[in-house]
Amino acid sequence: MTDDNNKLRDETLCARGSDAHDLGAVAPPIYLSSTFRFESTAQVADYAGGKRERYQYTRYGNPTVEAVEVQLAALEHGTRAFLFASGMAATSTWCHAFLGPGDKLVAARQLYGGTTHFFEHFLRPAGITVDRVDFSDLAILERALPGAKGCWFETPTNPTMRIVDGPAVAALCRRHHVLSAIDNTFATPIIQKPLDWGVDWVMHSATKYLGGHADLTGGVLVTGSDGDAARVGETRRSLGGILDPHAAFLMHRGIKTLALRMERHNNNALALARWLAGQPQVSRVHYPGLADHPGHAIAARQMKGFGGVVAVDIRGGYEAAARFVDHLRVIINAASLGGVESLVSLPVLTSHVHATEAERREVAVTDGTVRISVGIESVDDLKADLAAALAAV
């Protein structure tokens, strides 16, 4: 794509894709080659000496992968993006690039369970201090930041859709010279663009909305800092977590409809959240689009829509929640989110299965919490399915 892309809106950027390595093909070719030919030893010497930019080996970079990276950087208003084999590969590569023994990471209390597990069981043993605080209290956050090397948070959070004031967090991190990173999986660049707030890095589990069809696993990191980008690029090259070219092609195809899908996800989720709030079997609905959600005002200010994930607490605890899930017929019981199909899961068995009861209580995950990834099906069919399952409860 050209420099004019910063003038294009998200819908056009999604549909157009990237002109990187344009050979006239509307759909980008898949470069499955693991290695690339040099015409002479002199070319190899120029490449080894940094005098020539080109492809050598797919672990270092690949044309299909780079085409999607260019597109995602444009969507996030960044300058550089890196694709990875999973969201956790992206997260762990960021940590390896910027954190070392003796450093401190300030992390939000409410995070995806896999992220928390990595921070606790891999970073701490490596000599990195992980200070987990409540990001909804900016005073507490500011007291934790001095001396920190990095900061990691989510908004909306997984699974109970809490909202963090992203611009405020970014401003505090810049004040204290702390590198900030956000997991933007739930919102996607269609709903919010954290780099515009001043956040340094954006991460996505591209397995979810970016792919959108439950047929790939991937992750992405995006930044607006070329200097920091070089460190991530070198770390990815050494750790070997780059995305496979075929998966990159699938992601490119999914992104073409991302803006359209997010509009439907938003609309369906809001309609179901409002309906679920009136059901007697539901004690609480977690969705920032509802006026009584504690983060509604912040979400309305920093988001374009409220996302496609709704969490509910079913009266009667685990047994009632399990019965509810087992009686769904249209919505699928599966531990992921962000696809065209609606999925449901119990966080106590999936994202927070390793969390203690006290840790789950801190982040409002109960034994009866059910996370619903609302797809793009007919909202009436989804409502009827939920109603039948609630009746079984």
Query: Which is it for strands 309-314 and 219-223: parallel, antiparallel or unpaired?
Result: unpaired
Cis amide linkage into residue 159, ω under 30° from 0: yes
Distance CA 210, CA 252 (A): 8
Residues 210/212/214/217 CA torsion (nearest 10 deg): -10
Residue type, 288: P
**Length of the chain (residues):** 393
Tell me if 188 sits within 8 A of 309, measured CB to CB: no
Q: What are phi and psi of 105, to 5 degrees?
A: -110, 125
Cβ count within 10 A of residue 282:
20
Query: Where does residue 307 fall: left (phi above 0), alpha (psi -120 to 50 degrees), or beta otherwise?
Result: left
Q: Per DSSP, what are the bridge partners of residue 332?
A: 343
Measured CA distances, 253 to 8, 69, 78 (Å): 19, 13, 21
Give the count of alpha carbons within 13 A of 314, CB side only. 26
Distance CA 75, CA 81 (A): 10
Cα angle 87, 338, 263; round to 5 = 130
Q: Per DSSP, what are the bridge partners of residue 219?
A: 84, 205
Query: What is the enclosing helix (H) or strand (E) of 267?
Result: helix 258-276
Task: Give catalytic residue positions.
Answer: 59, 112, 183, 208
Tell me if 89 sits within 8 A of 83, measured CB to CB: no
Distance CA 318, CA 314 (A): 8
Q: Nearest CA to 72 among 193, 242, 227, 196? A: 193
Compute the 3-state secondary structure of the chain and give helix, strand, coil in percent, each to the nearest 5: 45, 15, 40
Give the count of alpha carbons within 13 A of 323, CB side only. 14
